Structure 1
Amino acid sequence: MLDVSIRKRLDHFELDVSFQAHDEIIVLAGSSGAGKTTILQVLAGLTEPDSGTITLKGKSYFDGKKNSLPARSRNIGYLFQDYALFPHMTVERNIYYGIHKQTTENTGFIIEQLLAVLGISHLLNKYPHQISGGEKQRVALARALATEPDLLLLDEPLSALDEDTREECQNELLRLHELWKIPFLIVTHSRSEAEKLGDRVLHLKKGLIVNESRGTMKEIPVY
């Protein structure tokens, strides 16, 4: 379980949020500048809150600035909005990046499973500039999950995709979550996407959770 209670002073308001997440999809919704991405960055260890606590699976990630686990030591996958693929690396090398020091007996099986679910096995020898936006999103998702994280953070992962590709990737996210059974935190501006993907939707305004709702259209696609 993820347990978050944090405060951080931003330019125009103070971020002050508390929530828990089990093995579910939590969507962070709200207007631009409401603090959604900051929450992801704090959880990932890319920025520090002013105060509060963060625990994941009973392990303390943050409990005051003197007790803050560095980002490299947090078992968290992060899918950035621009995917952040390395242009000089093939798809295969991008996916394997970051797991060479923590390879387990299951690593090969996990990656094969990811390639199959995401349908990207045929892309392994290509470079990022040779594949489409939807394919880049799938590669970045495979890379984030290949490290076997305890939490996956996704910052508007589908915003740059066309409508048809976006729907396909939404379905893939739902199937992957059903397989991985870890908390997913997704930032989106799309109301329909929030309702389709989220078990719970946290609505933010100026750094506060002003409302919580349930996803109304979530249905795991079967293929």
Structure 2
Amino acid sequence: ISLVRWRFILLASGMGFLLFSGCTMIALGPAIAVFLLVVSPNANLVILSTLSGFIWICSISMAAILWLMIPPLQGFLAISLIEGVVSQEIGRYAYYQLCAAAERRVAALSSQKLFSPNNFDSILASGLGFGVASALVRVGSTLERAVGPGTSYAAACPAMSVYLNAALHACLTVAFNVFLMVVAVDAYRSRAKWRGAAAVA
């Protein structure tokens, strides 16, 4: 039934499908290009990217569970935001430590570097996983509604469609997570506390 419904929507709202396709390419086009050109040729980078996305989902799930378990958090948006940021950075640090431990294990058995979190390609793949997972969770449901007929505008920004705004937000989220992964890994590697604080900030 769901497949028939989707086919009907696509046939009945051609402009909606075009809007959805365009916004999706704006949101994920750069990430798809990086994945195809840099990550996909190397199986190890694909593993790192997938693992980092999974770690991000786990960290944000823990933040959501804490938010549900502690009722006072539900009444204070600022505290909830801080809790979400801290949980994501804990997940990022746990991911780095996991990769570093795996690299040490592999180095003890072979001279080949499989899971090194220190070279740029690995950092790029890791940031890409974090960013794509974050973008899909945050704006995926909004972009899904673009398939329907018509479009929507927010009162705060009447000149731009809500779906285009969400697509740009998703694209910037991916880029931001890649840059943040570079800063965070550099901080973890150099053990500089001020750099780690900058990554959290």
TM class, shorter-length: under 0.3
Q: Larger radius of gyration, structure 1 or 2?
A: 2
Whose strand proportion is higher, 1 or 2?
A: 1
TM-score, normalisation: structure 1: 0.23
TM-score, normalisation: structure 2: 0.25
Whose helix proportion is higher, 1 or 2?
A: 2
